[in-house]
Each structure stands twice: as structure tokens, then as C-alpha cells.
Amino acid sequence: MRIAELSQRTGVPIPTIKFYLREHLLPPGELTSPNQAQYGETHVHRLRLVRALVEVGGLSISATREVLTRMRAATNTLHSIGKAQFAIADPVEPHEDEAWHDAVRRVDELVAERGWQVRDSNPARASLAEALAYLTRLGHGDLFPLLRHYASAAELLAVSEVDVVLSRENVDSMSETLVTMSVLGDAMMSALRMMAQESDATRRFEEP
Amino acid sequence: MRIAELSQRTGVPIPTIKFYLREHLLPPGELTSPNQAQYGETHVHRLRLVRALVEVGGLSISATREVLTRMRAATNTLHSIGKAQFAIADPVEPHEDEAWHDAVRRVDELVAERGWQVRDSNPARASLAEALAYLTRLGHGDLFPLLRHYASAAELLAVSEVDVVLSRENVDSMSETLVTMSVLGDAMMSALRMMAQESDATRRFEEP
């Protein structure tokens, strides 16, 4: 198909597709003349994946490129498959105040308490610490008890999530599923929490 | 305090603080001479809130401004308090293909099944539909059963979350807590899911 049809199928404007091509987020089409290229189903799929990462996940262009590169490089080890997922986490340059050091300690304690096996290289450790540090900095330290609820929920969800990833027949598919589930799962949880909060608050305000 | 101390206290570089001042994310300091302003504790707090929204939540400058404006405008009604939270959700311009229409139907069904009271104006409905539409588009329709697990988790968490919001003594504090909990809670859940997934996968790979 030509670029116009690729655009129509995916809803992505032609200038955006051209931008992704220039940024190497999308492999080039097959040239049929100096000014015309043909695209296939792999382009449709890749374009949708890029859109999910950029639009739903809010990933930067460079982070998206890194995720895609690591997905292609995935081999048959757990660590290699996980690496693409690690690239989703936006690395933070922490402000290393007291709140930060306290937060890092809380993360270590949580991991130990739960008996979780989490590598030091997992960037989620730093992301979690950063969020916890902001709770302290903003004077919402009384939200810390929620952390245990969130961890229990994450632990329960992980069982079903890992089931799905392991059900995939090859490494490429496992890696893509893990990335998709991370990005779309975050968006789903965020939306569902907002909806559940509204619902719960509405119910309580209505009660006599 | 002068801007240098404000920068030191918060870890936010001076040029960034000046940018936030220009963008009205931070109220001006009190001028003590034509070139010098004094800042107080409210500036420290506001600056930390802005950083949490921008750095942790990934909000754009205009979305951050909208959240802050709505927080200030909050009055003593549930809907008014919730409005600041609604501004966190990045409005999506959906590609209205079959996957999208199917996703919107799934969201309506979920809300009905759960007996949730969620306004049509809650932007989380569209965010959730968009994420579900991408599952279909990317051929991961077998992840749909996870939606029920996510919804159950969100429902359980909402009870504790709304408790904390309602424990706040005034509307300003409720509104800020709700916004902070949304943004930092999303970051915490995302990080915890990634950690729990790694832990669960590691355990299973290690088993004989």
C-alpha cells in the first residue's frame, strides 16, 4: 500500500508517518520509484505500536526508539526480554535530599518485606523512590500506608500478567507483549483508578 | 528567601524556576528591588507540586497550569474537587475505527457490570477506551480478561484513597491530595507492577 493508505488504515497523519520514518521508528518502505514507496502489514503493526508508546504511554521519540531497539535485540533470557520494558521508565535525575534517601530506604524495605526478587538495575526502583520522595516533600506522608495496598495489588496483577507473557510462542512476541502490557496496563490502571475513585466518592457523598 | 535559595531548597535549577514564573505556574515573588524578589514557603511548596506534576506525572506545561487553576477554583462540591483531577488526563483525539467503537462499548459494559457511578464527563472513560482499542489493534485481544483484574484492584484501592482525601480538613487540601494521589499513585503503581512482574517471572524461571 502507499503512504496514503497506511495513513488511512492507522489514522496517523502522513506528515507524522514521514517524521517517524526520518526518526527510524518505522522501517523504510520498498521503493517502487524514486518518489514512491510501498508499505506492508508490518508497517501497519509497527505504526500502531509506536502510536501506543507515544500517544498512550507518553514516551519521548528517543525512549520509543530505545524500546524498539531493545525489543529487536531480545534473546531467550528473562533479563534480555525485560530490558525493553526497562527502557519505558523515564530515568530521573533525583534531587538527593533527605526525602529521597528516606524513600530509597523505604523501597528497599518494601522489596525485602515482600520477598521480591528485583534487580538493582530495575529502573522502577528509582521511579518508585522518586514518587515516595514527593509524598514527603509535599507533606503527604500520611499517604505512605497506601503503598502496601498498591504493592499487594501489583503482586496479584503480576501473576496474571506474567501468565500472558509466558503464553506467547516466541521471544519477539513475549517482548512485545511485555512492553504493550506495561504501557497500556499503566494507562488502564490510571483510568480505572480515576473512575473507581469518582464512583466511591459519589456513593459516599450521596449517603445520608 | 532569594531565588538561589529557592533553587537550593528544591533542587530545581534557577532557569527552570524563571521559566515557571513566566509561564505562571509559580506566583511572582515579592519585589524588594527592581531586580530582586523574595520567595516564601508557599513558593517552595508550589514548586514541588509543579515538579511532581511535570517530572513524575509527565504533564505538559499547559496541562499543569490547568490543573493548578482548577485546584484554586475548587469549591465544596464533589464535582468541583474532581475537576482538577480530570485535567490530569491528557485528552486523546481518538482514531474512531472499529476497535475504538468496540472499546467504548466495553467501557460502558464494565461500568454497568461494576455498578460504578461515573459521569460521562470523566475523561478516564476515553483514556481507558483508547488503551483497550490499542490492545485490539495490536492483536493482544487475549489481554482483555486482565481488565477485570485491574478493575477489581482499582476498586479496592479507591476505598483507601477516598478515605485519605475525605480526611483532609478543607477543600484546598482535598483537591491537592486528590491531584497528588492521582499523579504519584500512577507512578507508584507503574513502578510496583514492573517490580512485581520481574519478581514473579524470576521466580518462575528459577523453578525446576
Residue-wise pLDDT tens digits, A151-194: 999 999 999 999 999 899 888 889 999 999 999 999 999 999 99
Do strands A36-38 and B30-33 pair parallel, antiparallel, or not at all (unpaired)? unpaired
Mean pLDDT computed over A134-139: 94
Dihedral sign, Cα of residue B131, residue B94, residue B123, residue B178: positive
What is the overall mean pLDDT for chain A?
92
- CB contacts < 8 Å between A and B, how many? 290
In this prediction, residue A193 carries a pLDDT of 96
B101 contacts: CB under 8 Å, gap ≥ 6: none
Q: Where are the alpha helices (DSSP H) in chain B?
A: 3-10, 14-22, 41-51, 61-73, 78-86, 98-114, 124-137, 144-166, 171-206
Cell numbers 517490580: residue: B195
Q: Answer yes or no: do A45 and B139 touch at CB < 8 A.
A: yes
Give me the percent of chain A exceeding a pLDDT of 70.
Answer: 99
In this prediction, residue A185 carries a pLDDT of 94
Burial (CB count <10 Å: 0-12, 13-18, 19+), residue A137: buried
ipTM, 2 dp: 0.93
Q: Testing the interface with B: which of A90, A194, A202 to mutate, by most B Cβ within 10 A?
A: A194
In whole angstroms, give the CA distance from residue B14 to residue B4: 7
pLDDT greater than 70 at residue A199:
yes
Cell numbers 485490539: residue: B136
Q: Testing the interface with A: which of B86, B119, B194 to mutate, by most A Cβ within 10 A?
A: B194
What is the overall mean pLDDT for chain B?
92
- Nearest Cα of chain B lies from the Cα of A24 at a distance, in angstroms, of 20
Q: Answer yes or no: do B193 and A186 touch at CB < 8 A.
A: yes
Give residue-wise pLDDT tens across range B59-118.
999 999 999 999 888 787 777 788 888 888 877 788 899 999 999 999 999 999 999 999
Which residues of chain A lie closer than 8 angstroms to B201, CB-CB? 78, 82, 162, 165-166
The three-state secondary structure class of A44 is: helix
In whole angstroms, give the CA distance from residue B152 to residue B23: 40
- Nearest Cα of chain B lies from the Cα of A17 at a distance, in angstroms, of 15
Mean pLDDT computed over A121-143: 94
- Nearest Cα of chain A lies from the Cα of B33 at a distance, in angstroms, of 30
- Nearest Cα of chain A lies from the Cα of B34 at a distance, in angstroms, of 31
Least confident piece of the model among A51-55, A126-130, B91-95: B91-95
In this prediction, residue A207 carries a pLDDT of 59
Question: E-strand spans in A15-173?
Answer: 30-33, 36-38
Q: Answer yes or no: do B128 and A192 touch at CB < 8 A.
A: yes
Mean pLDDT computed over B173-190: 93
In whole angstroms, give the CA distance from residue B177 to residue B85: 10
Residue A82 pLDDT grade (very low, low, confident, very high; cuts 50, 70, 90): confident
| B35 neighbors B28 (Cβ within 8 angstroms) | no
In whole angstroms, give the CA distance from residue A18 to residue A2: 12
Which residues of chain B lie closer than 8 angstroms to A116, CB-CB? 195-196, 198-199
B159 contacts: CB under 8 Å, gap ≥ 6: A200
**What's the residue count for chain B?**
208
Give residue-wise pLDDT tens across range B24-73.
999 999 999 988 999 999 999 999 999 999 999 989 999 999 999 998 88
A4 contacts: CB under 8 Å, gap ≥ 6: A14
> If you measure CA to CA, which chain A residue comes closest to B52?
A134
In this prediction, residue A126 carries a pLDDT of 94
Residue A10 pLDDT grade (very low, low, confident, very high; cuts 50, 70, 90): very high
Facing B184 at nearest CB: one of A118, A135, A177: A135
C-alpha cell at B208: 525446576
| A162 neighbors A33 (Cβ within 8 angstroms) | no
Cell numbers 479496592: residue: B156
> What are the structural domain ranges in chain A?
3-56, 61-206
Instruction: Tell which residue, A191, A163, A187, has the closest CA to residue A177.
Output: A163
- Please list the residues that pair with A38 across neighbouring strands: A30
Mean pLDDT computed over A33-57: 93
Mean pLDDT computed over A116-122: 93
In whole angstroms, give the CA distance from residue A85 to residue A127: 14
C-alpha cell at A140: 503527604
Query: In the CATH hierarchy, which fold is given to the domain comprising A3-56?
Result: Multidrug-efflux Transporter Regulator; Chain: A; Domain 2 (1.10.1660)
pLDDT greater than 60 at residue B208:
no
pLDDT greater than 70 at residue B157:
yes
Residue B198 pLDDT grade (very low, low, confident, very high; cuts 50, 70, 90): very high
Q: Answer yes or no: do B151 and A78 touch at CB < 8 A.
A: no
Instruction: Tell which residue, B179, B172, B185, has the closest CA to residue B87.
Output: B179
Q: Answer yes or no: do A204 and B162 touch at CB < 8 A.
A: yes
In whole angstroms, give the CA distance from residue B175 to residue A143: 15
The three-state secondary structure class of B96 is: coil
